[in-house]
Structure 1
Amino acid sequence: MSAEPAAGDGTAPPDPLAVMRSRKYLGLLVMTAALGVPVSAAAFGFLALVQELQSLTYKDLPRALGLDGTPLWWPLPLLAVSGLLTALTIRHLPGTGGHKPAEGRVSGGPATARDLPGIALAALASLGLGAALGPEAPLIALGGGLAVYAARLVRPGLAPSAAPVVAAAGSFAAVSALLGSPLLGAFLLMEASGVAGTMLSLVLVPGLLASGVGALIFTGLGSWTGLGTYSLALPHVPHATQPTVAEFGWAVVLGVAAAAVGTGIRWLSLRVQEWVERAGRRRTAVTVLAALAVGVLALAYAWGTGRDASQVLYSGQNALGPLIAQSAGYTVPVLLALVLCKALAYCASLGALRGGPIFPAMFVGATGGLALSHLPGLTVTAGFAMGIGAMSAAMLRLPMTSVLLATLLLGREGVTVMPLVIVAVVVSYVLVLRPWGRSVRAPEAVGGVKGSGA
């Protein structure tokens, strides 16, 4: 497929509609659909490996060593090893372990084949051993890079202008089932790309096709292996009542609070990143210290509340369901302690380790919303949903995706509280874009997919 003409050469760029009607574009669709199969299978394997590492290191290993259950101090050695392995990967393998999560996903084109091992290893070392980060950013990078690499093996003459479209399709396939719906994953990447008009359709059509294929592969592999799909889901959501005037007031409060907390998290995570990068030869030791801080926070939370340290560790994706299902058993002090410890662990992980920002932001927001639901005028489901949406907007700066994350996750109850979520998201989003929000070097949203001619 022909590349786009260079800017300033006096020729007009190709018409996206004409490109979409071309035979070469149809061939690209067939190729991206076919690539969706191995890419989504690789993404499934990556998620399965992360899950198994978490279970092996946190549950099985202590028993194998003769310990009576998992002791409170156990996260400390796990996080020390995580920091060590992540730092060594960043230092010695190409690609610096992928993007820096404190800065978000920078739009710099698909990862090269040379960088993929380092991205995978850094993410496994961070996510598998307790970092408070999610898997979506590594999956997006790995999916895009694998798709382009495979496409060039199949078609060595792949035009440079087609590579972004293939990379986008690979990213769509990789996250197709992670957020609970292939449509939600696709929407995340579309909004993050900033592509609009007919150019959006040019990238969107192969992406949606690969996403649909990927979701089928996730479902099939989950059924065949018995491991499930690793899809975000909440099986037990309390009934939501129709929104009240008081809850609209709480939506404003939650939006303001999320903007403040999100701005603080971004500021602190960037300071941690600056501290790590300025360490020079001591970077490995400083990364270990930052990772150990996550373990200390988990230990402090478990010791102070009697709850499981895993609520502070990891992405929080698997903890969202139990959190809302057992919300009646959480007191306000416990919920506030969880918000504080998880947010600080999130900052340390963003600044020093490797992973994605979505799920911890959702968990912090959900916990804060549940804490406020103990006050008059706010129900559990409404507080939970508004907290997710407002904090996602503060951290991701993707308002539409934030609304969908909070509402589609709750199913039928999410539709009921959607007006409240919209208000909370808009308030949070507007505030983080104000001058005091821009004073913090704003991270770009996860995704970074660029449109291009096919």
Structure 2
Amino acid sequence: MSIDDGHRTSATTVRRLVVLSLPAVVIGVVSALVLFVVEELAAILQSALWEGLPNVAGFDADSAWWIFTVLTLTGLAVGLAIWLLPGHGGRDSALTELIAPPLPLSALPSLALVTVLALAGGVSLGPESPIIAINTGILVAVFARFWPGVSVQLIVLITAAATIGALFGTPVAAALVFTGVVGTMAAGQALWDKLFLPLLAAGAGAVTMSLLTQPSFAVPMPSYDSIAAIDLLSATVIAVFAALLGIGAAAVFPLVHRTFRLLRHPVLYVTVGGMVLGVLGIIGGPITLFKGLEQTATLVIDRDEYDSGQLVVIVAVKIVALLVAASAGFRGGRIFPAVFIGTAIGVLANALVPGIPIVVAIAGGVLGMVLAISRDGWIALFIAVAVTGSVTVLAVLCIAILPAWLLVSRAPEMLVHAPVERTVGHRPSGRSSGDAHHSAR
């Protein structure tokens, strides 16, 4: 290519990026607004279920019978929605990557409903997967109507980046995640050019979300300003241990998914899933319920109130709860619960060996667990630093991630690849529901 050709190509790329900048900002703002609305609706329902109703009726919201009742009824409500509503609650989260092809608009209301129900009802899943699916479905449809020249692939990429930026309150998370994604696209184009629009959308999403609320993963912890040589070993051992637990969960995930599907009907297997989550909630206590963000902060702040035996129970219960929630047909992501599990592992390590700085212990636990669940080193590093609020610990994590990644890279993903068999009332379809479409009979 001549110099003139290079200049013309560069100028064309710049013009294209400028033209698409405004749509990218709009995508960022819309993605954050949708996230905010869904989370606010879930928060209102959660408050009614776990505070308002118990206060009015005069009973303890943390009582065993109420935890079991709410989670069982949540499973029943989600199962009915998947069975009866148009779109059937979107795709089965167990079969779906974080970034997936867009759903039709008809599937989005039921997906939003089952997401709100799960978040409010105490199910151990996060909002990331369904929110990305909802935003992608809306924005692909809007652009197809008003700006058909923009490719669907680009809209999906920008929307996912915007949603991740809004979820984590910073575009840095999206930039790290999408460095690997865009690296396989548009050969010959500079990496910055590929990242520009997703980063712009992520920035708009993060700013919008910050204006509406204050999303933060940071948990109050003692400062960590200097690295000791032993911290490298401590973080590595904890990260490897957490990664092994995550790998074990991923290995049995397809089996758990198949076991629930033996019940054949979504009302049955999701309701039973809710019942199992209710029993787990009784065993682990309220700290093991919900997506885990607020519970992560509570666990760290109140860590002196838990002995090592209680912490082992919390870790075990939350891992099983994540497996059950993700396998039984509930819609949601796995990163938020993984952060809680990793934090609990770090708190446990600090309880067993108090000499390990709590920042190092939690960072190592989060790194290993998120790495095993998400299979993304960038996002694991980012979240581990974000939770601890320590930039200093990043250098330690860059060492600790090597053996953990060597284990994870050879292990199964926490994803079900096998097709779902025909079930009562359903027929397989990859367009709008991973559980399969309802078929009236």
Distance 2:98 2:9 in 1: 25
Matched, 1:384 2:362: yes
User: Displacement, 1:377?
Assistant: 4.2
- Is 1:356 matched up with 2:333? yes
Query: Partner residue of 1:4?
Result: none
Alignment partner of 1:219 out of 205, 210, 214? 210
Q: Give CA deviations for 1:80-116 in whole Å, capped at 9, x if unaligned.
A: 1221222223333454423433345165422222221
Distance 1:249 1:215, change over 3 A: closer
Q: Structure 1 residue 152 and structure 2 residue 144: aligned?
A: yes
Structure 2 residue aligned with 1:5:
none
Is residue 98 of structure 2 the alignment partner of residue 109 of structure 1? no
- Aligned with 1:74: secondary structure? helix
CA distance in 2, matches of 1:351, 1:16: 48
Query: Secondary structure of the residue that 1:73 maps to in structure 2?
Result: helix
Residue 188 of structure 1, aligned match among 164, 177, 186: 177
In the alignment, which residue of structure 1 is the partner of 2:45?
53
**TM-score under structure 1 length normalisation:** 0.82
Find the aligned partners of 1:199 and 1:292 in 2 and give their Cα distance. Answer: 51
The answer to whether the 8 Å contact 1:148/1:167 transfers is yes
- Taking the TM superposition and a 5 Å limit, the aligned residue runs for 1:285-300 are 285-300=268-283
Task: Quote how far apart the aligned CAs of 1:125 are.
Answer: 1.9
1:214, CA displacement in angstroms? 1.8
Does residue 390 of structure 2 align to residue 421 of structure 1? Answer: no
Q: Return the alpha-carbon distance in structure 1 between the equivalents of residues 115 and 102 of structure 2.
A: 17
C-alpha distance 339-235 of structure 1, shift in aligned 2 (>3 A): closer
1:132 deviates by: 0.3
Please name the residue that 2:153 is paired with. Answer: 164
In structure 2, how many angstroms separate the alpha carbons of the residues matched to 1:349 and 1:361?
A: 13
Residue in 1 that maps onto 2:197: 206
Deviations 1:308-352 (CA, angstroms, capped at 9, x unpaired): x1x111111112222222223321111111101111111101111
1:38 equivalent among 21, 30, 34: 30
Summarize the Cα distance change of 1:379–1:132 in structure 2 as closer, same or farther, 3 Å threshold: same
Q: CA deviation at 1:185?
A: 3.4
Q: Which runs of 5+ in 2 are unaligned?
A: 1-7, 418-441
Residue identity matched to 2:167: L
Superposed, 1:359-438 pairs within 5 Å as 359-374=336-351, 375=353, 377-411=355-389, 414-434=390-410, 437-438=411-412
Determine the C-alpha separation between the residues in 2 that align with 1:326 and 1:128.
23
Task: Please say if 1:242 is aligned against 2:226.
Answer: yes
* Residue pair 2:163, 2:205 contacting (<8 A) in 1 also: yes
Q: What pairs with 1:272-351 in structure 2 (closer than 5 Å)?
A: 272-280=256-264, 282-302=265-285, 309=286, 311-351=287-327
Of 9, 13, 25, which residue of structure 2 is paired with 1:20?
Answer: 13
Aligned to 1:225: none
Structure 2 residue aligned with 1:85, among 68, 73, 77?
A: 77
RMSD of aligned Cα (Å): 2.6
Checking the alignment, whether the CA contact within 8 Å between 1:247 and 1:377 is kept in structure 2 is no
Query: In the TM superposition, what is the alpha-carbon distance from 1:215 to its structure 2 partner?
Result: 2.2
Secondary structure of 1:128's counterpart equals: helix
- What is the deviation of 1:395? 0.8
Is the 1:388–1:405 Cα contact (8 Å) retained in structure 2? yes
Give the direction of change, closer, same or farther, for the CA distance of 1:150–1:372 in structure 2 (3 Å limit).
same
Separation in 1, partners of 2:181, 2:263: 32
Moved more, 116-125 or 170-179: 170-179
Change (3 A) 1:144 1:431: same
Matches of 1:324 and 1:135, distance apart in 2 = 22
Post-superposition shift, 1:55? 1.8
Alignment-mate amino acid for residue 233 of structure 1 = F
The 1-side partners of 2:108 and 2:346 are apart by: 38
| Range moving further from structure 2, 134-143 or 209-218 | 209-218
SS at match of 1:243: coil
The structure-2 alpha-carbon separation of the partners of 1:443 and 1:387, relative to structure 1 and needing over 3 Å to count, comes to farther
In the other structure, the counterpart of 2:438 is none
Counterpart selection for 2:134 from 136, 142, 165:
142
Q: SS of the residue aligned with 2:106?
A: coil
Q: Percent identity?
A: 26
Residue-pair matches, total: 406
Distance of aligned partners of 1:68 and 1:153 in 2 relative to their CA distance in 1, 3 Å threshold: same
- Is the Cα–Cα contact under 8 Å of residues 191 and 398 in structure 1 kept in the other structure? no
- Which letter maps to 2:364? M
Task: Give 1:397 deviation, angstroms.
Answer: 0.8
| AA partner of residue 297 (structure 1) | L
Deviation, 1:76, is 1.2
Q: For residues 377 and 370 of structure 2, what CA distance do their matches in structure 1 show?
A: 8
Shift of 1:398: 0.4
